[in-house]
Amino acid sequence: MPELPEVETVRRALASEVCGKRVTSVRGESVALRRPLEVEALAAILPGRRFLEPRRRGKFLLLDTAPTGSLLVHLGMSGVVQIVPAAAPLRAHTHVILELDDGRELRFVDPRRFGMAVWLEPGDEADDSSLGALGMEPLDPRLSQTLPPLIRNRRAPIKSLILDQHLIAGIGNIYAAEALWRAGIHPRRAGNRISVARLATLATTIQEVLTEAIAEGGTTLRDFATPDGNSGYFAVSLQVYGRQGEPCQRCGATIRGEAIGGRTTAWCPRCQR
DNA sequence: CCAGTATCCTGCAGGC
DNA sequence: TGCCTGCAGGATACTG
């Protein structure tokens, strides 16, 4: 479900809703998520801690607390963080519930269980296997300089390369397709067959599409919602993602769709080369 | 090291 | 209507 703009939308909502709140208790059921969810361990650590301003790294959320430590959250494909009154009905696949001192609860819901919620001690963050391997933040102003050399010596399709979180952290299937359409680059084009100038253009379109999507609160296709239950509105701005068979908004050609690297990909066969 | 594929899991849309 | 198949916003283990 969530890519950088959706995760950033969640981060901002949590910044205003749970910043300063204290955890009073933890309940749930340990299940096999991407990393095992250990409710008992969280119940031993979190009560009494206060949430600080949350951070985002790529598609990861870091819910920092005082005393120092962080709950590392990834939403996977179907993860949702809810902030709801304690009396709110329980959604299916709610795995862990943090009761807060304002009468509300922070709930982690994840039907497909590709997400995670694990505790990080202050020292754990630097050498965490996921966080440590992440590439640059795509909104970094130096992206147009740093991206080309990472791509120019690779033969894989550019679409697969910009989805690789070790190179750039935060782009997913929707925004990869959108950024490539804006840049006029064919998603199957090999990285080493794209000029530095065109890669700099791609860096710019990546930043534009992510920034616009954040401003719209992300993209809601099926079930993405902010912690207070709202939808994102960027779906109406999508130019190619999910538009296979429809006309390109730029040139009128029919948008194509095929799997690249196992992920469905849409592009315009006329204006993407 | 790199590129490509399989896999984890549930829900839901579409075809028959 | 019900059953079956395939696909879904992701990350990673594995294969050649």
Residue of A49, A59, A104, A159 marked active site: A59
| pLDDT at residue A166 in the model | 98
Average pLDDT, consecutive stretches of 10 residues, N- to C-terminus, chain A (273 residues): 93 97 98 98 98 98 98 97 97 97 98 98 93 97 98 98 98 98 98 98 98 94 81 92 96 96 97 97
Instruction: Look at the pTM and tell me if it is higher than 0.75.
Output: yes
Which nt has its C1' nearest the CA of A31? B9
- Give catalytic status of residue A3 as yes or no: yes
| pLDDT at residue A273 in the model | 97
Using alpha carbons only, what angle is made at residue A132 by residues A179 and A232, rounded to the nearest 5 degrees? 40
Q: Could you check: is the Cβ of residue A110 within 7 Å of any atom of nucleic acid strand C? A: no
A34 CA – C12 C1', rounded, Å: 10
| pLDDT at residue A136 in the model | 97
Q: Which long-range contacts (CB under 8 A, 24 or more apart) does A24-30 make?
A: A24/A99, A24/A100, A24/A101, A25/A98, A25/A99, A26/A96, A26/A97, A26/A98, A26/A99, A27/A96, A27/A97, A27/A99, A28/A94, A28/A95, A28/A96, A28/A97, A28/A108, A29/A95
Which nt has its C1' nearest the CA of A223? C9
| pLDDT at residue A1 in the model | 64
| pLDDT at residue A20 in the model | 98
Q: Which residues of chain A (167-226) touch nucleic strand C at CB < 7 A?
A: 172-174, 218-224
**Paired tokens of A215:** 């401003």
State the Rg of chain A over Cα: 20
A260 CA – C1 C1', rounded, Å: 37
